[in-house]
Amino acid sequence: MYVDDLYVILHAFWVDDSRPLLGFFRIQVSLLLLLCAVTASRPGAIVEGASAKGSNKALLFKHIELIKVRTIEDASKSTIVANVTLENVKNKETSGKPKKFSFRLEVTPAFCIVSHILSIGISQGLFMNEFTSVRQIFKLYIPPERESLHIKWKSQLLDQPFFCNVKSSSIGTGISREEAFPYAKLQQTFVRLGLLAGFKMRLELYSLRRGSGRNINSALDPVERNQVIGNTATTYEKHYTPLHIARDFQSIYFGSPAEDRLISSVGQMGLTRDRRAPTRLNEAQMKALREDPKFKTLCKKRDYYRSKLHGEGYRPISQARGTRLYGEYDRYKREVNNRLQKLVRDGIESARCDFYESIDSKEVKMQLDGTAAAEVPTLQTVEYELCERAAIASMLPKPFQDDSDRIEFIEKLAELCRKQEKRQTKTSNRKRTTGFNVDGGNDAQLSNKRIRGMAEVAEKDLPVSKLPLKLSYPMCLICIGNEAFADEVRMKPRPRKDVLNKHVDYHFSHPEFETPFQCFHPDCFRELVDKGHFKRHAYDVHNVLH
Task: Give tens-digit pLDDT for 417-432.
Answer: 988 887 654 443 333 3
Alpha helices in 370-477 (DSSP H): 387-395, 403-417
How far apart (Å, rounded) are the C-alpha atoms in residues 224 and 237?
15
> For residue 403, is it within any domain?
no
Residue after which a domain boundary falls, among 178, 203, 228: 203
> For residue 56, is it within any domain?
yes
Q: What is the pLDDT of residues 392-425, one digit of tens each?
A: 988 988 899 889 999 999 999 999 998 888 765 4
Which pLDDT score is estimated for 425?
47
- Is it the case that residue 197 has pLDDT exceeding 90? no
Residues 6+ apart with CB under 8 A from 233: 222, 226
Q: What is the pLDDT of residues 58-91, one digit of tens each?
A: 999 999 999 999 998 888 889 999 999 988 877 6
Which pLDDT score is estimated for 112?
94
Which pLDDT score is estimated for 202?
84
Q: What is the pLDDT of residues 354-390, one digit of tens each?
A: 888 888 888 888 888 877 555 555 555 566 778 888 8
pLDDT band, residue 140 (cuts 50/70/90): very high
The percent of residues in the chain predicted with pLDDT above 70, rounded, is 82
Provide the number of structural domains found in the chain.
3
φ, ψ dihedrals at 167, nearest 5°? -125, 150
The answer to whether the CB of 504 falls within 8 A of the CB of 517 is no
- Is it the case that residue 442 has pLDDT exceeding 60? no
pLDDT band, residue 248 (cuts 50/70/90): confident
Q: What is the pLDDT of residues 531-543, one digit of tens each?
A: 888 888 888 888 8
> For residue 143, is it within any domain?
yes
Q: What is the pLDDT of residues 209-228, one digit of tens each?
A: 766 666 666 667 677 766 67
Q: Do 299 and 191 fall into the same domain?
A: no
- Is it the case that residue 95 has pLDDT exceeding 90? no
Q: Do 198 and 309 fall into the same domain?
A: no
Average pLDDT in the chain: 81
> For residue 240, is it within any domain?
no
Q: Do 198 and 298 fall into the same domain?
A: no
- Is it the case that residue 436 has pLDDT exceeding 50? no
- Global pTM value: 0.68
> For residue 392, is it within any domain?
no
Residue after which a domain boundary falls, among 338, 369, 400: 369
How far apart (Å, rounded) are the C-alpha atoms in residues 51 and 53?
6
- Is it the case that residue 169 has pLDDT exceeding 70? no
Residue after which a domain boundary falls, among 203, 238, 253: 203
> For residue 264, is it within any domain?
no
- Is it the case that residue 25 has pLDDT exceeding 70? yes
Q: Do 287 and 199 fall into the same domain?
A: no
The answer to whether the CB of 68 falls within 8 A of the CB of 151 is yes
What one-character DSSP code corresponds to residue 28?
H
> For residue 31, is it within any domain?
yes
> For residue 332, is it within any domain?
yes
Q: Which domain holds residue 308?
A: 283-369
Is residue 151 within a helix (H) or strand (E), and if so which, with residue range? strand 148-151
Residues 6+ apart with CB under 8 A from 318: 515, 516, 517, 518, 527
